[in-house]
Structure 1
Amino acid sequence: MTATDGETDTAAQIARFVASLREQPLPRAVADMAKQSLVDWFAVCFAALEDREARLAAETIHAWRSQGEAVAFDGRTGSAAPIALINGTFAHALDFDDFHLASVHHVGAPTFAAAMALGMDRGLGGAEVLRAFVAGFEVGVRWGMNGTGVALADAGWHPTAVMGTLSSAAACATLLQLDETHIERGVNFAASQVAGLMASAGSIAKPLLVGKAACSGVMSATLAASGALPPPGLLQQEKGVLSVLFQRRIDPPYPPLDGEWQSLQNTFKPYAACQLTHASIDAARQLAAQISPDDILTVHACVNPLAPKVASHRSPRTPLQAKFSLTHCIAMSLLGHSALPQDFTDESVNAPETTRLRDRIEIVTLEQIGRASARLQVTLKSGQQIVQDVAAAAGSPERPMSMEATAGKFMQSATPLLGKDAGRLLETLKNFEHAGAMEAVARLMKATCAL
């Protein structure tokens, strides 16, 4: 296959990196971050099993009656691609999943969905899946760096639907041990399938886009392995996918795959809402300890300009819309809620005290405020003004969640489903590189089928 122009170097660079990663041990910190990402992925998928629309999506896909050894989080099995679609949807259904801030990419949701499904279906081990995740992470996030991920979101594209396809394809190519030629083909297959509208935020369509990215990654790598030929040049500058999405040349199209491990910059969410609401939630929770909601006259929320574009639902009517509503997340936090999955219900979204407080909140955008920062200026009915600044939201790179905190998140989600087996599964995930871990995990995932 002959590529053209800038794509030759980009595709070849990706192929060389993915192929070379098989030949070297992962740095300890990178391997540990991969395992923490896996624990978090399981936590958010288990939590999503109570989501009605995610379960409806899973039922629809199971009706295809695929056959294979991959296990979905509802305990049923099938072939790798549809199970990746199901699990990727579960992973993003609550918007509680991991996030790479620089690229605006929820890497774990599609990448682990693809790698776990293909790994189970092919009888591969946990160590291979962890290595595949790292490969997918490093390859995928670079597509969104240098401001490209932010620009995608600003233009109305869902960054994870774009980058997640490449992340998943690179992970699956690693699992299949493809040579450089076939990796390049897999990357081009992946590039041919990207898209997804940010306007889907606040509906089941958005997590389905993430599941589709995982499914497309499986298909891309397995098609390349079969000898199928994609169109060349889909990552080049002039006519490549990003230039098409933006309708202008993107330069540079892809940062070098060397230097810092971007996987060490992965972050995990303490709140089950859009990451762009997290700093405001932090500030509101701090204010809730100082003032009564009944005393509030107005709230001015000063945030990054991207925040109201993504978290845009001013008056949400459903729990999914509420997760993408700055005004709702601030109001519920001022009312003492913790912004966990159980706080986003039909009742809480439409509660009179919440809607009244939402109407008192004004969003102000300031370029100098970072995406993990916020300032809330509260004016009380007495005339007193209180300001609460958050320089770095909980879970952001400056205030990262520890493995212990992520394990706590996992236990909250898994214990209602698995009982005492939740602790056993957690230990297995923490030691996922050990022989037999994948089989043990598959057995415990099947235990959820009784739901």
Structure 2
Amino acid sequence: MSEPHLARLAASLARPPAKSERKRARLHLLDWLACVAGARGSEAARVAKAISGSGWERATYLGNVLEMDDVHRTALLHPGPVIWPVALSLPDTDMTARLDAAVRGYEAMIAIGAAFDAHHYAHWHPTATMGVFGSAAAFGSLIALDAGQYASALGNAGSVAGGLWHMRHDSGVLTKQWHIVHAVRTGRDAALHAKHGATGPQALLEGPQGLFAAMTKEPGDLASAGSGWLIEAVSLKPFAACRHAHPAIDAARELRKAGKLEAPFLVETFKDALTFCDRPDPQTELEAKFSLQHAVAVIADGRDAEPEDFSPEAITELADLRAQVSVVEDPAITARYPAHFGARVNGLELIDTLGDPERPVGEDAIIAKLHSLARWGGVSGNDADRAVSLALEGDDPQALDALIKEWTR
């Protein structure tokens, strides 16, 4: 009988990350801080303040509000909003321990998420269903679980995995933020219980009544980076919209730079982009972020797809341009998805999107993103500079904790 999936993953998590992965983790930490800074004025922030006195826990509500959180393409999930609150949740841990926890959290969340299929994605929010695994792995790293305890923590966390997409049909709800909070709390608790002897099912994924049977039709293999770590394959999002809209934004920007972006606009893209983002008449900020039509109108109007470009004011101002955008599926682009997020706008096709490993954005771009979202969230330039320093170079975890507590107060 083959070794259970979770047992193999647990053994892999026990190896030490290298300096290169810790450096990469710092970039994702900065990216997450940018997302938190930009969401300070949101309704989710109000709820967080009412519920928690802890900075890291309040920040849990904010990491995915602006739709600018990092993303893994083939697992179709966003690790950062789940992993960073957990990795920063134990006050007496140094930066190396926190970075290692993040690398392990990304690994578990992505490795398991990549095994789930299109049927799962059609009904379940993978950041939520897989987030419990990432949270358990990250906190397990902080409290030094051994391989057996890791497997138990993953099994128990996954036994209550969930998070349905139905919230997409209700305008303005905070369910997506609640999914993150639930994943963080559940995985963290599972790791803590495993540390004290709570054993769990190691065949939770492939077992006869496990997650594959319950949530998939054609499960695949767990992802592996070989001797490396999967955090290296995570994309960073430069635009304040659903990732499915990014290829169209990117192609429209290229046309605009060439002076060739002219109405009418035809967007050809993959099926999931239409499923999630074919929204010609958005009424709210969130709906605008999930609108291909609005995304292309933003670029056609000379804007850069920043948070203010999806505000109620922008929705009104861009109505005429939005009406000139048509969207259709291209089966060839769908066939390349999710390994490649692509789109064609008025004949210009991009196979991969800015921020993906094939077209990476560097440290300077994420620093600029931090400053842009900090301004949007009312954070001073000095505080933004301090965040950059703490994330990319700092070894003062208490200063980082204090910054997050101040931002979320």
Of 73, 80, 97, the residue aligned with 1:108 is 80
| Distance in structure 1 (CA, Å) of the matches to 2:303 and 2:205 | 45
State the secondary structure of the residue aligned to 1:104: coil
Q: Cα offset for 1:263?
A: 1.2
Deviation at 1:173, TM superposition (A): 0.6
Q: In 2, distance between residues paired with 1:358 and 1:397?
A: 30
Residues 7 and 202, structure 2, Cα contact 8 Å, conserved in 1: no
Of 360, 373, 384, which aligns to 1:413? 373
Residue among 167, 174, 182 paired with 1:200:
167
Distance, in Å, in 2 between the alignment partners of 1:398 and 1:244 is 34
Name the CA distance, whole Å, in 2 between partners of 1:177 and 1:407. 32
Alignment partner of 1:268 is 2:259 = no
- 2:50 and 2:383 map into 1 onto residues whose CA distance is 29
**Equivalent position of 1:355 in the other structure:** 319
Pairing partner for 1:279 from 247, 250, 262: 247
Per-residue CA deviation, residues 352-376 of structure 1 (Å, 9 max, x unaligned), is xx22332332211123214421111
Q: CA deviation at 1:414?
A: 3.4
Distance across 1 between alignment mates of 2:342 and 2:363: 23
Query: Which one has a bigger Cα radius of gyration?
Result: 1
Provide the rounded CA distance (Å) in 2 between the counterparts of 1:262 and 1:231: 24
Q: Does structure 1 residue 39 correspond to structure 2 residue 16? A: no
The match for 2:352 is: 392
Q: Retained in 2: the 8 A contact 1:237–1:251?
A: no
Equivalent-residue separation in structure 1 for 2:45 and 2:158 (angstroms): 29
- 1:405: how far off? 1.1
Change (3 A) 1:166 1:149: farther
The unaligned stretches of length 5 or more in structure 2 are none
Give TM-score, length-normalised by structure 2. Answer: 0.90
Which residue of 1 is the match for residue 39 of structure 2? Answer: 48
Q: Higher mean Cα deviation, 177-186 or 37-46?
A: 177-186
Residue of structure 1 in register with 2:8 after alignment: 13
Q: Distance in 2 between matches of 1:134 and 1:150?
A: 26
Separation in 2, partners of 1:302, 1:325: 14
**What amino acid maps onto 2:328 in structure 1?**
V
C-alpha deviation, 1:400, in angstroms = 0.7
Q: Once the 2 structures are TM-superposed, how far is the Cα of residue 319 of structure 1 from its aligned partner?
A: 0.4
Question: Is the deviation greater in 136-145 or in 273-282?
Answer: 136-145
Distance change (3 Å), C-alpha of 1:186 and 1:441: same
* Residue among 240, 259, 274 paired with 1:308: 274
Structure 1 unaligned segments of length 5 or more: list them: 73-82, 378-386
Any residues of structure 2 matched to 1:106-255 within 5 Å, and which?
106-117=78-89, 119-120=90-91, 123-145=92-114, 148=116, 150-153=118-121, 155-201=122-168, 203=172, 204-230=174-200, 233-246=203-216, 248=217, 250-252=219-221, 254-255=222-223
CA contact (8 A) 1:280 1:301 kept: yes
Q: Per-residue displacement from partner, 1:329-368 (whole Å, max 9, x unpaired)?
A: 11222122211112221111233xx223323322111232
- Within the alignment, does 1:426 sit opposite 2:385 as a pair? no
1:152 corresponds to which letter in structure 2?
H
Match of 1:319 in 2: 285
Structure 2 contact 33–387 (Cα < 8 Å) conserved: no
Deviation at 1:278, TM superposition (A): 0.7
> One-letter code of the match for 1:170?
A
SS in 1 for 2:69: coil
Q: Could you tell me the percent identity over the aligned residues?
A: 27
> Size of the alignment, in residue pairs?
399
